[in-house]
Structure 1
Amino acid sequence: MTDAYKDLQQGERGAWTSIIAYIVLAGAKLTIGYVFFSEALLADGLNNSTDIVSSIAVLIGLRISQKPPDEDHPYGHFRAETLAALIASFIMMAVGLQVLYQAVTKLITNEVETPSMIAAWTALVCSVIIYGVYRYNLKLAKRVNSQAVMAAAQDNRSDALVGMGAFVGIIGTRLGLPWLDVVAAIVVGLIICRTAWMIFRGTAYSLSDGFDESELEQFKETINTIPGVERLKDIRARLLGNQVLVDVIVQVDNDLNVTESHDITERIERKMLENHNIEHVHIHIEPIRINKRLKEKQV
């Protein structure tokens, strides 16, 4: 099994961690928020309920990504995890808009009740727990280079902030500002929508074959330093899940034979793997006539 598939298996741990944490937290928040009249805690619990669905989508995407290449998918199914992150962003945006609608409606109609301090402490404890999940998933996402796990980590972080906002809102309400709990719910909705947009923007950029220009420049520098490469004519890269695919056209001395030209391609592949951990490099060699006298003078 290649390292890419091993990374995907490790990424599943992050999805399972999120699923278990969200099941526990959603149950606690929805129950206590309903019993002790906290709109912000109810909004946060509803958010965690949909986070369960999002985490399951991430888990399914990671599972599909592990399928080996076939006739329809010669590069494998790695892009499934990107699609999972995209689906998660849609679910999060829908929930964020729903939370905003409910909170604004209650604020306009002045249907506000003073929540208990139990709701406040629940929000705080849950915020600390989900922040721990965020730190775990963030570290895991960086190690396995997974967009889906990174999306889950960003969701975890927004949930930790949401929990703190709910805590502040409830405390403010207890201090004689009953509208502050609903305002906290509005802030919750805005944070959910913002996180959903950020995940959507990143995954849409990847799915449309967008690639970071600064990273592409680093690839160019690496290839240009390889002996035998006279000129880097063209280079393109795109993301396929947690994999980077690179297409390169290099020009070499037309006096080189097939074996010597092939050696250059192997050097490029080896260097890209060593410097950038890129396994998939498609290289096209073009011969070019070299003015050897001019080259000797330059040396």
Structure 2
Amino acid sequence: MDSYDSLKEGEKGAWLSIVAYVFLSAFKITIGYMTGSEALAADGINNTTDIVVSLAVLIGLRISRKPPDRDHPYGHKRAETIASLIASFIMAAAGLQVVLQAGRSFFADERTAPDMLAAWVALACAAVMWGVYVYNYRLAKRIENQSLMAAAQDNRSDALVSIGAAVGIIGSRLGFPVLDAVAALIVGLIILKTAWEVFSHASHTLTDGFDDQRLKVFKQTVKTTPGVKRIKDIRARIHGNSVLLDVVVEVSAELSVGESHDISDEIERRMLREHRVNNVHVHIEPFEEQEKNGNQPYR
């Protein structure tokens, strides 16, 4: 599948999240206030911010599909990573709101147990959101899309949050009204944890960070390519749903330009075949037993 086609495919997951969140947030908030459940209402408020998160992901995917131009020779694919970063801020704001609201409820003079209907609604919504998570997770893995994976993680957190809300409501009905507020607090903390994970991953990518273990695997593939004498340098970075790899290799100085070029082509073919990396820039240099200038090659 072409990278731009995969971005278009990813929009389906974003739209699914938006539709699910619109209905679930309205349903949870309404039932939450009707039954007096702070946990369910907090869960519904969380879902309203999730609508904005999904819209940010959708916009990022749309921008990422724009072809390269004079100002963006590598294309616009990092827009989806920026969308993930924005999503993390929105999730953090929602989490703080829920935590503060739950904290205030601990100092309430009176607490009443919410109606059992709230628990059944929470469990039903959890089942729906888990189905959305499974769909988006599988789609994000298939098309290797970071922003959709962030949305999928948010979907999973929302499903767990709804289960936690149901547990709190049931506990409240069993004679422990404070458990509804405890569940709301746990909801907020889970949202904050998810926001931090998404933020860390997106900021690492935007600053050209790359997994060292994965880079070592790439290095081994290049190193074992026939004709490669030594790897002088190898670097990689994430660009949307693509990996950009830059590698400097040394080959025998006795090879012709054509033979050296064949080695370069073989590196590109192996990276695509074994690691699905189709953006590889290979620079060829002549192999020397000892560096004349004393510099040590990359090992």
Moved segments of 4+, more than 3 Å: none
Residue 228 (structure 1) shift: 1.2
Once the two structures are superposed, the pairs formed by residues 53-132 of structure 1 within 5 Å of their partners are 53-132=52-131
TM-score by length of 1: 0.95
User: Whole-Å Cα distance in 2 between the matches of residues 234 and 286 of structure 1?
Assistant: 11
Within 5 Å, which residues of 2 pair with 1:148-167?
148-167=147-166
Q: In structure 1, what is the equivalent of residue 297 of structure 2?
A: none
Aligned residues: 290
Measure how far apart 1:186 and its partner are: 0.3
- The residue aligned with 2:146 is 147
1:165-180 to 2 correspondences below 5 Å: 165-180=164-179
RMSD: 1.2
Give the deviation of 1:113 after TM superposition.
2.7
Where 1:278 maps in the other structure, the secondary structure is coil
Would you say the 8 A contact 1:253–1:290 is kept in 2?
Answer: no
The residue aligned with 2:29 is 30
Q: What does residue range 1-299 of structure 1 map to in structure 2 within 5 Å?
A: 3-289=2-288
CA separation of 1:219/1:181 partners in 2, compared to 1, >3 Å: closer, same or farther? same
Give SS of 1:17's match: helix
User: Aligned-pair distance for 1:111?
Assistant: 4.8
Paired letter, 1:238: R
2:254 counterpart letter in structure 1: D
Secondary structure (helix, strand or coil) at the match of 1:265 reads: helix
The answer (yes or no) to whether the contact 1:26–1:49 under 8 Å persists in 2 is yes
| Unpaired runs of at least 5, structure 2 | 291-299
Relative to structure 1, the CA distance from residue 261 to residue 41 in structure 2 (aligned partners, 3 Å threshold; closer, same or farther) is same
Specify the code of the residue in structure 1 equivalent to 2:71: D
SS at match of 2:233: strand
What SS does the aligned partner of 2:114 have? coil
Q: Report the CA distance between 1:225 and its aligned residue.
A: 1.2
The CA deviation at 1:289 is 4.0
Q: Are the counterparts in 2 of residues 210 and 238 from structure 1 also a CA contact under 8 Å?
A: yes
For the residues of structure 2 that align with 1:35 and 1:19, how far apart are their CA atoms?
Answer: 24
SS at 1:285 equivalent: strand
- Whether the aligned pair in 2 keeps the contact of 1:112 and 1:182 (CA below 8 Å) is no
Deviation at 1:226, TM superposition (A): 1.1
Q: Tell me the SS of whatever aligns to 2:214.
A: helix
Q: Tell me the distance in 2 between the aligned counterparts of 1:271 and 1:243.
A: 16
**Cα drift, residue 227 of structure 1:** 1.2
- In the alignment, the residues of structure 1 paired with residue 119 and residue 15 of structure 2 have an alpha-carbon distance, to the nearest angstrom, of 27
Take 1:153 and 1:3, find their aligned partners in 2: how far apart are those partners?
A: 22
Aligned residues with identical type, % of pairs: 60
Could you list the runs of 5+ residues in structure 1 that have no partner in the other structure?
Answer: 292-299
CA distance in 2, matches of 1:120, 1:78: 42
Tell me, in whole angstroms, the C-alpha distance in 2 between the residues paired with 1:47 and 1:88. Answer: 13
SS of 1:108's partner is coil
Tell me how far apart the structure 2 counterparts of residues 46 and 234 of structure 1 sit (CA, whole Å).
Answer: 50
What do residues 5-61 of structure 1 show as CA deviations (whole Å, max 9, x unaligned)? 111111111101100000110010000001110000000000000000000000000
Between the aligned partners of 2:102 and 2:166, the Cα distance in structure 1 is: 16
* Separation of aligned partners in 2, 1:142 and 1:150: 7
Secondary structure of 1:283 counterpart: strand
Residue 245 of structure 1 contacts residue 281 of structure 1 at CA under 8 Å; is this kept in 2?
A: yes
Equivalent residue, structure 2, for 1:296: none
How big is each residue's C-alpha offset from its partner over 1:200-246, in whole Å with a ceiling of 9 and x where there is no partner?
01111111111111111111111111111111111000001110000
Query: Amino acid of the residue matched to residue 272 of structure 1?
Result: M
